[in-house]
Chains A and B, each alone.
Chain A
């Protein structure tokens, strides 16, 4: 069924700080671990290396951009950190938790927006968010309150009871962003968050990045919109051919290679 609802963007509001929550502390160490730490992280697809040995450390409460040409390894890095795929070599930790060995715990601390939104066409926007809230384990009252706040934040309250099947790509992305707000993660992973959005939508993403930084949430986003995000990010990682080409800014550091040259499978695939 085609959506006949005319989506009228509301006036952008200031971020509703109640839905941007500070990350929960692990309470294990005196000083918090890096938000993300990778060591010689590599991922092979057949004989091709999408990542060929990436060693990075991202400090908590940083907004970090991954930039680089198509095939540089940005999406693969995000998907490994999101626990969607496993590394072939090396390791990756989120808040000190290994993404392979402690994937279940990592999933309680991350939220990931991929190119696909993962929404169910036959459910309404509100039902999709309610489903997410249930799987996130939110109490009913918190879920109801959180869903309304998240819908308002992404300016989709008016379309909340329409089936997602009729939504444009931009509207779907707004609902996927609302789902991230429900999760209240400590690490947000965004793959091309500005893609498919109109000007209001892109401004919304900018405000969300700002709000997350304000409450201490770490954000890593892959983007081709380098100029647009330049003032929003603390640091930038330039990836090329599955390797770190350059790191600029603060909040992120590239670690020296340790095993890449001595691991023939990675070195060969990278070539």
Chain B
């Protein structure tokens, strides 16, 4: 098997292992989803029954819920490596360190995509929105947004995984970095939901693609250093 093939196989094995652990520890994923849905519900109560106001706020609230859920998800995917010092064992396998990063990004992406799609459904129901024609653009925005968040979140989850105050440090480190991503994701979601009258959707999606590429390259290139001297 080629070097690239081995790296891809190792990344897939790590992602599969994380998915299996997530499915078996489903109480954690369920509580994350419940928490995110509760955020949407409470904001819905706060904004009242005005459908116009709800539609205006929906993109921001959707991404707020995804960010909260995403932070918990990437932290949990790394926390599983601290039990019985699995992270040290993982670092000692003869695999490219980029495979470990890629595996963690894939598992984070899949978990956040599932959460995001459920939350999109929750927004539709709670805020009485019709996604119909906007759905393809919304799903693309969701994919690009969660990919970028997984790229950044995985790196910083690796930074904080051995810290005592990692629950505090992770959002402090991640949120400033993902600010451009959140801006683009919220704007793209709003444009998609509103039918993109001013034709800005493409530009925001391009920003998301650029952010994702930069963060994936930077994360893959530097994540390995986090595994040194573990």
Contact = CB atoms under 8 A, between A and B. Distances in A.
Interface of A: 82-86, 104, 107-108, 110, 112, 114, 116-123, 127, 131-132, 134-137, 163, 172
Interface string B2-42: 00001001100110010011001100000000000000000
Given A116-B86, A122-B25, 7 more contacts: A116-B89, A118-B86, A119-B84, A120-B17, A127-B20, A137-B10, A172-B84
17 contacts: A83-B92, A107-B94, A110-B92, A114-B88, A114-B89, A116-B84, A116-B86, A116-B88, A118-B86, A118-B88, A119-B84, A120-B21, A121-B83, A122-B24, A132-B93, A134-B9, A135-B95
By secondary structure, the A interface counts as loop
Contacts of A172: 84
Contacts of B21: 120, 122-123
Contacts of B89: 114, 116-118
Instruction: Name the residue in B20, B25, B86, B94 with the highest tally of chain A Cβ atoms < 10 Å from its Cβ.
Output: B94
B10 A86 contact: no
B92 A82 contact: yes
Contacts of B88: 84, 114, 116, 118
A119 B90 CA distance: 10
Interface in B55-104: 80, 83-86, 88-95
Nearest to B1: A137
Contacts of A136: 93-94
Given A112-B92, A137-B6, A118 B228 contact: no
A124 B93 CA distance: 19
Contacts of A116: 84-86, 88-89
Contact-residue bracket for chain B: 20 to 34
A152 to B, nearest CB: 22
Interface of B: 1, 6, 9-10, 13-14, 17, 20-21, 24-25, 80, 83-86, 88-95, 228-230
Contacts of B1: 137
A84 B230 contact: yes
Nearest to A133: B13
B13 A86 contact: no
Contacts of B10: 134-135, 137
A112 B91 CA distance: 12
A222 to B, nearest CB: 16
Nearest to A86: B229
Nearest to A163: B24
Contacts of B24: 122-123, 163
Contacts of B230: 84
B91 A84 contact: yes
Contacts of B90: 118, 135
A17 B179 CA distance: 58
Nearest to B227: A84
Contact of B85 (A82, A108, A118, A121): A118
B98 to A, nearest CB: 12
Contacts of A82: 92
Contact of B93 (A114, A119, A122, A135): A135
